[in-house]
Structure 1
Amino acid sequence: MSENFVIIIPQFNDWEALNLLIEKINADVSTSILANTTLLVVDDCSSRLRSVPFANFDGKEIKVLRLYRNLGHQKAIAIGLSYVAENLPTDKVIVMDADGEDAPSDINSLVRKSLEEPDKIIFAERNKRTEGLLFRSFYVIYKLIFNLLTGKMITFGNFSLVPKSRLQNLVRVSEIWNNYPGGIIKSRIPYDSVLTNRAKRLAGESKMNFVSLVLHGLSAISVMIDTTAVRILIFSMFMSGVAIAFIFVIIFLKLIGNATPGWASTLGSTLMILMLQAFLISLFLVFMVLQYRSQQHFIPAVHYRDFVEKVDTIS
């Protein structure tokens, strides 16, 4: 029996690139996969209306899910997954971007890997990126900071395959509302990856600027804020220990008469103030996180309908 597929594509004012992407999906995705595929376009309340018809799609159908307001890429993905989980019969769900940087030919690799690991979410891990040197440098820094603050490695983005067996689990992970890959890491749902090369944008210009990239990175880290807060607290305690050691050295130098007048007291009091501030701020952050964990969270599977304006089916 053939498997059913749904490809979720969130987009905002990227109609031209989306049409080119549909043509590449027709050309590059295996016929056996394509024939049983529904395309779900999550229109993130685009400010520019679609002026041309969709390109012909060789799969089953195209559905356009329009949102009441612009929510951003990550929330659009969470809503798309929740809609599929409740309304569309499917065996595998594929999440990809509309700009074409997620190569449709890699869908075949994701499906093959899923046959080997049928109970895992499969991510497309970037083996080679096409961005400039500055972007790649900041991306390396982001991965290092993410690993330092969370103890986890993140080497992938949104491009992924979700098996039916994990879909209902996934749409009840509140963290995917903030950051999709980070939420999966936090949820401990098993996942694996395949190496892929990032393609080039098909049309238009990227809406991701430096500020957006920083916010995206911070959102991924914030998903694991409990671990991050504890790690910051431990680091502040370590630095407090170092500060105390320096204070003892200063006192020792003062006692033996090798300290410059006024220097020991100024440096010692400064270190003490910095130590106390760092420790108290870190402790406050930990208590805020513990308070947050006791509150009811946003569950995409339950609340996504509040943002769906309409769903159109295009044959």
Structure 2
Amino acid sequence: MPEKYIILIPQFNDWEALNLLIAKINTDVAGDILAHTSVLVVDDCSSRDRTEAFTPFGGTGIRVLRLYRNLGHQRAIAIGLSYIATELPCEKVIVMDADGEDAPSDINTLFAKSVQMPGTIIFAQRSKRQEGFVFQFFYQIYKSIFKLLTGKVITFGNFSVIPQRRLQNLVRVSEIWNNFPGGVIRSRIPYDGVPIERAKRLAGNSQMNFVSLILHGLSAISVLIDTTAVRILIFSILMSGFVIAVIVVILFLKLIGNTTPGWASTLSTTLLIVMMQSFLISLFLVFMVLQYRTQQHFIPAIHYRDFVESVETVA
């Protein structure tokens, strides 16, 4: 049967979990979807070779796209989407992780929502996570900082269904090269979400450490750096107004003689220096962002071929 749907799975040294995931796709995805579905695995230059054959797949086949170098999860997704948009005509693309934390059974839920909203990217919104308290604590901090700096709310990751029409738009959005969800938000392509619980990893250990998670969070914020820079400038202006008000109060107290000698001038000078530094730094950041917008950007749909080593049909 011809393929109508493609499941895009980026992976790095997660061959065991990937095999278990394919087995769950066979059993958990609705038959009418599975029969027209193929899998594209983007091997992000794994340091360990695959030693076992893939689990027999109930769909139309499995391809492995190998990269010349390790680029990271988000860029592997961008390359996979660009390859599909250029080489593999299909109706929808499902993006999911190889570790099994994106449950294959939830593909059916995402598809149902996608049928209702055919021109919209549908994300899995994480209603419940399986990670420990420390991770969830810092994750909540990250979401709060993201909203404060960008004015946007992010409640989803990579797990999504992308219709063909939006795929062609998306692979020309340079920001997905740094962060896929952030790039979708920045692109203004219509998107919606379905509340879905995150599943548990099927095998092995996560390749992401604490530093990697911080970098991932910062990359999402960097995608919206122009909005972030302006909000920082506005905050700096507001703080400058507050500092000026404090300095006025200090000078008033000095005039009526309620301050220790030297204290008012020292504090006023310090506050004034801090205010000027923060304002100039934030203003410089805004101009840097505006300058960046005039430069030619990396377009995944055009430049992805530079990183593709080979594409192999394995099942």
| TM-score (structure 1 length as normaliser) | 0.99
Deviations 1:135-165 (A, max 9, x none): 1111111111100000000000000000011
- For residues 251 and 126 of structure 1, the distance between their equivalents in structure 2, rounded to whole angstroms, comes to 52
C-alpha RMSD of matched pairs (Å): 1.0
Q: How does 1:201-216 map to 2 (within 5 A)?
A: 201-216=201-216
- For residues 285 and 128 of structure 1, the distance between their equivalents in structure 2, rounded to whole angstroms, comes to 36
- For residues 294 and 73 of structure 2, the distance between their equivalents in structure 1, rounded to whole angstroms, comes to 27
Maintained 8 Å contact 2:3/2:60: no
- For residues 117 and 98 of structure 1, the distance between their equivalents in structure 2, rounded to whole angstroms, comes to 26
Residue 78 of structure 2 is aligned to residue 78 of structure 1: yes
- For residues 19 and 28 of structure 1, the distance between their equivalents in structure 2, rounded to whole angstroms, comes to 14
- AA aligned to 1:257 is G
Show the counterpart of 2:63: 63
Alpha-carbon offset, residue 66 of structure 1: 0.1
- For residues 126 and 250 of structure 1, the distance between their equivalents in structure 2, rounded to whole angstroms, comes to 49
- For residues 54 and 142 of structure 1, the distance between their equivalents in structure 2, rounded to whole angstroms, comes to 37
Alpha-carbon offset, residue 3 of structure 1: 7.2
Deviations 1:23-49 (A, max 9, x none): 000010001000101100000000000
For the residue of structure 2 that corresponds to 1:119, the secondary structure is: coil
For the residue of structure 2 that corresponds to 1:216, the secondary structure is: helix
Residue 150 of structure 2 is aligned to residue 168 of structure 1: no
Deviations 1:27-85 (A, max 9, x none): 10001000101100000000000011111101000000000000000000000000000
- AA aligned to 1:43 is D
Identity of aligned residues (%): 74
Residue 244 of structure 2 is aligned to residue 233 of structure 1: no
- AA aligned to 2:167 is L
Show the counterpart of 1:298: 298
Alpha-carbon offset, residue 210 of structure 1: 1.0
4+ residue stretches of structure 1 with deviation over 2 A? none
Alpha-carbon offset, residue 206 of structure 1: 0.7
User: Any unmatched runs of 5+ in structure 2?
Assistant: none
- For residues 116 and 287 of structure 2, the distance between their equivalents in structure 1, rounded to whole angstroms, comes to 43
Residue 117 of structure 2 is aligned to residue 125 of structure 1: no
Q: How does 1:243-258 map to 2 (within 5 A)?
A: 243-258=243-258
For the residue of structure 1 that corresponds to 2:66, the secondary structure is: strand
Alpha-carbon offset, residue 314 of structure 1: 1.6
Alpha-carbon offset, residue 2 of structure 1: 8.5
- For residues 259 and 5 of structure 1, the distance between their equivalents in structure 2, rounded to whole angstroms, comes to 74
Maintained 8 Å contact 2:125/2:155: yes
Residue 269 of structure 2 is aligned to residue 269 of structure 1: yes
Alpha-carbon offset, residue 200 of structure 1: 0.4
- AA aligned to 1:80 is G
